[in-house]
């Protein structure tokens, strides 16, 4: 293929969704991408609640939707830091108070970090 007909690959699109205490929140998404989160943890919620829907299979769920034109607030201190930095978080051991910096990529591989000094699960700061 000649260089004249080659095209640049499209930019990589990355969507970051954070789940804390069972609540999912879109942390980062590019403009032009719609994000839909179906939450099936609706046990005990009244079916008439306006936030509850049925999916294509008829199962009850809550739907979170961020439209393609919605923008994550880049002025939020956590978002601004992570968008400008290396997308990492500080974690602290509740026992020995040791802190470490863990990237999102590392979290995907290992999950929540464990303190290497006292073998306790660490808390995100």
Rounded mean pLDDT for each run of 10 residues along the chain, 125 residues in total: 63 76 75 85 81 86 81 54 59 86 72 80 83
Give the domain extent around 119: 86-125
Whether residue 120 is contained in a domain is answered as yes
Measure the CA–CA gap between 47 and 108, rounded to whole angstroms: 34
Which residues are CB-neighbours of 74 under 8 A, at least 6 positions away?
80, 83
Same domain, 68 and 90: no
Measure the CA–CA gap between 103 and 90, rounded to whole angstroms: 9
* Other C-beta atoms lying within 10 Å of the C-beta of residue 101: 13
Whether residue 81 is contained in a domain is answered as no
Whether residue 6 is contained in a domain is answered as no
Instruction: Examine the fold and report which residue of 72, 94, 113 is the final residue of a domain before the chain moves on.
Output: 72
pLDDT of residue 4: 62
Contact predicate 88/103, CB 8 Å: yes
Same domain, 66 and 91: no
pLDDT of residue 26: 80
Same domain, 26 and 63: yes
Whether residue 122 is contained in a domain is answered as yes
pLDDT of residue 110: 66
Measure the CA–CA gap between 63 and 60, rounded to whole angstroms: 10
Whether residue 31 is contained in a domain is answered as yes
pLDDT of residue 83: 45
Whether residue 78 is contained in a domain is answered as no
Number of domains in the chain: 2
Same domain, 66 and 92: no
What is the separation, in whole angstroms, between the first and last Cα of the chain? 51
Measure the CA–CA gap between 2 and 67, rounded to whole angstroms: 39
Whether residue 8 is contained in a domain is answered as no
pLDDT of residue 44: 81
Same domain, 47 and 22: yes
Whether residue 54 is contained in a domain is answered as yes
* Other C-beta atoms lying within 10 Å of the C-beta of residue 82: 18
């Amino acid at each position: 293929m000649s260089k004249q007909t080659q095209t640049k690959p499209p930019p990589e699109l990355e969507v970051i969704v954070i789940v804390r205490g069972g609540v999912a929140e879109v942390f980062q998404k590019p403009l032009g991408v719609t994000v839909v989160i179906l939450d099936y943890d609706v046990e005990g919620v009244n079916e008439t609640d306006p936030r509850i829907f049925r999916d294509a299979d008829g199962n009850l769920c809550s739907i979170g939707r961020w439209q393609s034109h919605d923008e994550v607030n880049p002025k939020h201190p956590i978002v601004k830091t992570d968008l400008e930095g290396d997308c990492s978080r500080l974690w602290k051991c509740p026992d020995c108070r040791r802190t470490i910096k863990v990237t999102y990529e590392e979290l995907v591989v290992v999950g929540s970090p464990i303190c290497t000094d006292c073998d306790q699960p660490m808390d995100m700061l």
